[in-house]
Amino acid sequence: MKLYKHSDIYGMSRVGYSGELEVYVNTDDAGNIPHFHLRDSDDWDKFHTCIKIESAEYFHHTGKEGTLNSKQRKELYDFMNAPVTVKKYANKFSNNWELVCFLWDINNSNVSISENVNMPNYLKLK
């Protein structure tokens, strides 16, 4: 397992795990496009990608250019549709996708997610 400095994980809000990949939202993300990260939790250099929150599209940028295979897209789709597992918040969010939206909005004040947006079909990720 690769060890990272404290500063590498500072400002991350973990949502959970989609299969073998960790799903998280960054604080003050410079991308200014609502998105979340998926990465190999043991080796960030092995796999890392970003996906838009409001559409089933990748948000690739340097070092975050991975693509999901069909099994991983299905795992992501199922994860985003799954109920939030932390009981304290389960009645506040219908699913993990709503939690991702909330985490983006409270951690990235430059760009908010539209209130009228629905969860995209991540099975059709392109």
* Over residues 74-101, mean pLDDT: 94
pTM: 0.88
SS3 per residue for 37-81: EEEECCCCCCCEEEEECCCCCECCECCEECCCCHHHHHHHHHHHH
Whole-number pLDDT of residue 10: 56
Distances (CA, A) of 77 to 4, 27, 73, 74, 95: 29, 23, 6, 5, 11
What's residue 7's pLDDT? Answer: 39
Cα–Cα nearest to 49, from 41, 38, 57: 38
Q: What is the 3-state secondary structure (H, E, C) of 82-115?
A: CCCCCHHHHCCCCCHHHHHHHHHHHHCCCCCCCC
pLDDT digits (tens, 9 = 90+) for 4-49: 443 354 578 999 999 999 999 999 888 889 999 999 988 878 999 9
Question: What average pLDDT does range 91-98 have in this prediction?
Answer: 94
Q: Which residue has the higher pLDDT, 79 or 11?
A: 79
